[in-house]
Structure 1
Amino acid sequence: MAWSSQLVSCRTLLLILFLLLICSADADESIEVKRSLIGFVQQLSENDATLLRKLRWDASTNPCDGDGRSWNQVQCTKRNDSIQVITLEGLGLRGSINASLLCRAPSLATVRLRNNEIQGGLPPEITDCSNLTHLYLANNRLTGSLPSSLPTLGNLKILDISNNDFSGELPDLARISGLLGFLAQNNRLDGSIPAFWFSNFGLGYFNVSNNRFTGPIPQGADKFDSTCFTGNSGLCGVPLVNACPPSPSEKDDESPSLYRVKAVMLSGYFALGLVLLLFIPFTIISKKKRKGNKFIDDEKNALESNAKNSSITNKAGASRSEYSIPSTESAAVVDVSSSLIVLRKPGMNDLKFRELLKAPAELLGRGRFGSTYKVVMSDGAALAVKRIKDGSVPAAEFRRRMEKVDMAPHPNVLSAVAFYCSVQEKLVVYEYQHSGSLFNFLHGNQAGGPFDWSCRLRVAAAIAEAMAFMHKELQADGISHGNLKSSNILMNSNMDPCISEYGLILADEYTTKPAGHITGAPEKADVYGLGIVLLELLTGKLVQNDPFELARWVNLVVREEWTVEVFDKSLISDGASEERMVKTLQVALKCIHTQPDARPSMELVAAMVNAIREEDAEVCSL
């Protein structure tokens, strides 16, 4: 009897051990999947063994192991049993995509291959990745047409194929009812634009500019800016200025009386044009007789007078006015048609200061150091123009700073494409970013995907790394940002943060803040600004004119030992890691220390934020 009991116990123990072995085996990708993914990278990198060692992709290890032996550039499911995200961006990959190998990973949802030199096409086997939700292929050398089977990826949410050399007609991607974004600018695609479910698309998640599309723009696409469609000479309809021609049936329906009405209208327009032709020279002559021969000197008066005539209400409900940028230059100065100093965009070499002043402009915001406008040029190009207040930066120093900043490019710092400086006028020109600012994303003024904790942490790490790079590169020149805040951090088409207005403000202009606050040396002031941005990401609180108010409130709550109360309630409800949010809060508090010398360097801040991000296994879906 005892022997029988012992036998049962042994069998039970063996069964338990067997089940444990099965569970242990299930906690790792199969050897076939690992070998396939390694083969995928080998073909993508043209058998670069150095890259595989750097990535630590080895079939003998667990890709999702949490003890430091896991694969680099992958993220796994919450159970840590299979790969969910592969990120291979900016690695100089020159090979081709083998989707048959890639799609053997059963849980694969996000693939990021941006900013490489990948060649070949997108193979039809990509549809074997049945769980794929995000596919980012921007900034490569991919060619050929998109596979006709692509619409069978029913879970796809974001498809980014921008800045490649894809050609041919698009498959019927409108069949993917859950698609939230399609970016295809700067390719050679032709045919018509599919009738997407545009109501699902957030602003900044759709762009087909600079292709060869033809025909009318689909219904519902008028929610997007015209620059999302420019560069397609065959397109017509709203929001473009060129209307679609009427169909033959519409032409046949026009009666003789309708022709007479049109003739009367044309005559009226001709008469009005003649009056304007006579009136404009008279106005110009009158203005030249005025003392100083100046353009509009008082920006406030210009805004008020223009607001009466052309008020535009944006989606957030704010009233905006459309007019030309007010100039402090005299007519004599502007008449010389001075050229802007072009830094980065060869196509703008012939852009003149006067053309910027004449182009339709929309005021985006006014701050302590100047105003920002959205300007649409005659060719449809959208630019953001920062007009700096008179006297804030001497002309020679301004030029030196612009040229030095241009010599230190970073992907997360928005490069100026041109600038203009004189004794009276200073402008900096950037490419307009349609996706809005970090401020918009945080405070609900920007449509788009979820801005959860993993996305906020990714943005924080990118900002910190970029600022650390710029501080290191420009330390000898004494150039820092000077006005770092969430409204100056823009989101590009890939939903990556881009720091704008770097170096526009001199150190002695911002070391002393309103209400008597001293933020210290230029670099330490930037660290303080980053600390406030981190607090915005953590709390979701609105920062307007006084960032010190947010710092005071957070410090008060933390002193009362109510730390969890500072965090954004939406992050808590989404199940964000309180431990990692507390660690990030500790970094932010170091950055906003009242004593500038006690604040860490930007390099140390970047290292601390990245260390927290490496602990986070969640996937950002932006």
Structure 2
Amino acid sequence: MKMIPACLFFLSLILLPHTSTSIDVDAIKSLVSFFENLSGNFSQSVPVSGWNQTSDPCTSNWTGIVCYDQTSPSVKSIVLKEFNLSGTFNPSLICNVASLATSVAVISLENNSLHGESFDTIANCKGLTHLYLSGNKFSGSLPDSLSQLNNLKKLEISDNGFSGPLPSLARISGLVEFVAQNNHLSGSIPEFDFLNLDTFNVSNNDFSGPIPPGGDRFAATSYLGNPQLCGVPLPVRCETQAHPPLVAQNASGDSKKNGPSTSEILMYSGYALVGLIVLLIVMLKVCKRGKKKEESIKEIDHSFHSKEKDASTATYTYESNEFKSAAMSKSEVFTGNSVESAPVSSSLIVLTSPEVNGLKFDELLKAPAELLGRGKHGSVYKVNCEEQGMTLAVKRIKDWSLASNDFKIRMKRLNNVKHPNVLPVVAFYCSRQEKLLVYEYQPNGSLLKLLHGMPTGRVFDWSSRLGVASAIVEALAFMHAELRADGIAHGNLKSSNILFNNNMEPSISEYGLMTINNRDASPLNNNTFHFNNDPIESEFRADIHALGVILLELLTGKMPMVENNGMDLATWVVSVVKEEWTVEVFDRALVREGASEERMVNLLQIAIKCVNRSPELRPSINEVAVMINNIKEEDERSMDVSESPFSMRI
């Protein structure tokens, strides 16, 4: 047998990896069939390249296909927006192929002429995070299987012909956007996790009944065009059900002139007796619970049973057996500035600040907890520890991918980095199932509330806003410098995470609580693009983008999602500025105040640089800090010496 030349042997080793880095044949066939259905079997001229069985979607750059990495290729997104497609959307061709079902995160088919009625197989696309089907000709009802897309974050189905009731999308815990206006959807609006949603619109449908609890968080424009809808924020109030007639009708239509029959009396008496027994049992249990101190622990839990209209002022209890057992078995106090100072146990709260010296874990659990807010990454509660005379904020984290030991290490590292405008974690609890973070309660709420939920009479003037911007950027620059080597960016910077203390001084909260695995990695969300294939650097660049959005909120007074046309704030501002209507973006309150237009424009230019769609073109945090401080110094020089540069007038 002839020997294989050494050069050919090594050449085969070089080529071998490349043969395994192409997408499998079945996936390519399914993608081609998927596109053929969309385009009506190529019956029309569609300006695309690729989409054939003789090339690879990733290495041949098929139109509309974005892949994760050419060295380990798999399809990340399918974006065929406004391609004049008039065929059928058949998700089974994607979702029934294992390699595609787990990798495809985005399907965007907006503004075509597609149709189709059966989407049941969409549930198999477990990796799907963004589904955009607006502006097509879809009809029929939405499948219940939509609620099985546990990773779905954004669902847009507006301007179609969908009908029938909505599935229970509230089961999707991470859903942040749902727009379904201009369809024929009917029935009642199901309960959503409205606190978690950034965008919601079901206007111009056929919904009826009351707007569900929490729905008043969105403006009336999200519900208009549904004549049978009622409740806040609509001007139509829900009427209570009319009382039944005092005189009942018998089977023949005649009125019953006599009183209740003997059988009816016995039946009602039985009901009353059963009710009395139930009441006695409940009273006995309440009394017994009051005697047993260890069974009176109030729990913080994401399962809410209260039906109060204003959830933000309701008090909730929780029933975690693990918390309960921990409170029973450990009554000692664990203090110190390092994780090692406490015994290694997942059932202990570790206190890392002298401000909470003397607080015991079981005392924290027994204290009444008031829900402050709920988001996709957890809930925040106000806890009153009356015996210690302290008020704390406790954040309960959910869906955290960080292991318990890594979590402790991160908390220790964050505890060693201090800045006056970064809210420190004073205590934390860590177990396999639960993670709690304890902060000092900040009584004056968040920047989000100050800008968008401000009570009448409070003025948030230009100097105050500029002072907030300066404090935030300096704190963020400090944290980036100290923690860059550890790869810990903020990860979830937004106006609701900027809190104010008694002196109206801002603090950045929840620094470093997000991990790369938890971030939204959509290729359509440009603030999360990987920067030079470096996911760590991408996190820091994403913080710059988030800072830019906060600056735009300060300048415009608008929410991060502008309701007009469903655009996000950054996109809306850039579009207005391009039309040379710059003054139109500024908050009318600032214009009426007479704030310097020149300095507002300068800050606006900084914000626009920060939200650049290309992360590599965004300025560094230090550059942003220098530019903002220059504006602040110029503003202070122009002010009266008698006026405080950072005053909050109420």
- TM-score with structure 1 setting the length: 0.49
